[in-house]
Amino acid sequence: MTSNQFEMQNPLTQYPQPEFPKQPQPVPGLTSKMQPVPDHGETSYKGTGRLTERKALVTGGDSGIGRAAAIAFAREGADIAINYLPEEQSDADEVIKLIEAEGRKAVAIPGDLKSEAFCQELVSKAAAELGGIDLLVNVAGRQKSIESIAELTTEQFDETFKTNVYALFWISKAALPLLPEGSAIINTASIQAYQPSATLLDYAPTKSAIVAFSKALSKQVLPKGIRVNVVAPGPFWTPLQTSGGQTQDVVQKFGSEVPMQRPGQPAECAPIYVFLASQESSYITGEVFGVTGGNTLP
């Protein structure tokens, strides 16, 4: 894996390519147990001060794309509160250490986003600990592969929507009264919003909902000087995939179906979150940015 994000190299061979070993994990899965271990920019991301003294709440900040965003934000000068499930504490501890190593404040807030009361508590605690919030980054999500609609239970459908859509609504609603002018909200959709897989019948529509929700919210809050944008990743190498988000047969060849013929690494997604959080993107709101390995969005 690359040790320098600015080094020119062939993107096709920059990171590991399939085939990968089967590696089933219980939900929610841990980064440390993946083979190969994902790159979140731990050694490669170099900050340039673009988020100096900003205050960010990142859901799903223990692993995957959320972890990469949290590391990048800290190296750009921001203080960070991360949310994660209690079962993910070991991954979260690593992120907290990385944030603190940059001399930034790190706040760990475990809890289940399917609870409206917890989502409200999450925002209030993050704001209290950080001394405010001006960046809200919603990354946490639930994904479970199911082959047939006959096997898709109402319970799973409900849990997926509550984690991916309801939590987004609850957290945004709680955070908006606290966000000052110049703040940014960055939500995380997926290529599944545009090219849904047959086995992700509950997950894909949540990502379509996130796109529509974000576009509508961007129009509502722009008069307050707040921007809302969306990142839509393609196949990324995260515990979401190995802990039931895909079948183990798909995990073995994960990413081979896109033009890059490999999955993205979380470190490759972090720079777009930094850009959308920073003042460099001041004229951009209500947009969706694909990071898809060549599977272009419409």
Q: What is the structure's pLDDT at 104?
A: 98
30 inside domain: no
Sign of the CA dihedral with 117 first, then 118, 122, and 128 last:
positive
Is a pLDDT exceeding 70 seen at residue 184? yes
Q: From the candidates 166, 194, 203, 273, which is the catalytic residue?
A: 203
33 inside domain: no
Domain extent at residue 89: 49-291
Question: At residue 65, what are phi and psi to the nearest 5 degrees?
Answer: -65, -35
Residue 15 is among the residues annotated as catalytic for this protein:
no
Can you give the CATH number for the domain in which 233 is found?
3.40.50.720
Is a pLDDT exceeding 80 seen at residue 4? no
261 inside domain: yes
38 inside domain: no
pTM of the model: 0.95
pLDDT in tens, 192-251: 999 999 999 999 999 999 999 999 999 999 999 999 999 999 999 999 898 888 989 999
Q: Report the alpha-carbon distance of residue 122 to residue 248 in Å, rounded.
A: 34
8 inside domain: no
Q: What is the structure's pLDDT at 245?
A: 86
Is a pLDDT exceeding 60 seen at residue 58? yes
**Position 64 confidence tier, pLDDT thresholds 50, 70, 90:** very high
Domain count of the fold of the chain: 1
What mean pLDDT, rounded, does the chain reach?
95
**Position 3 confidence tier, pLDDT thresholds 50, 70, 90:** low
200 inside domain: yes
Is a pLDDT exceeding 70 seen at residue 2? no
What mean pLDDT do residues 46-71 have?
Answer: 97
Share of the chain above pLDDT 90, in %: 93
Going through 134-217 in order, the beta strands assigned E by DSSP cover 135-138, 184-188
67 inside domain: yes
Q: What is the structure's pLDDT at 145?
A: 95
pLDDT in tens, 95-122: 999 999 999 999 999 999 999 999 999 9
245 inside domain: yes
Lowest mean pLDDT segment, chosen from 3-7, 77-81, 113-117: 3-7
What mean pLDDT do residues 41-49 have?
Answer: 94
Burial of 295 (0-12, 13-18, 19+ CB in 10 A): middle
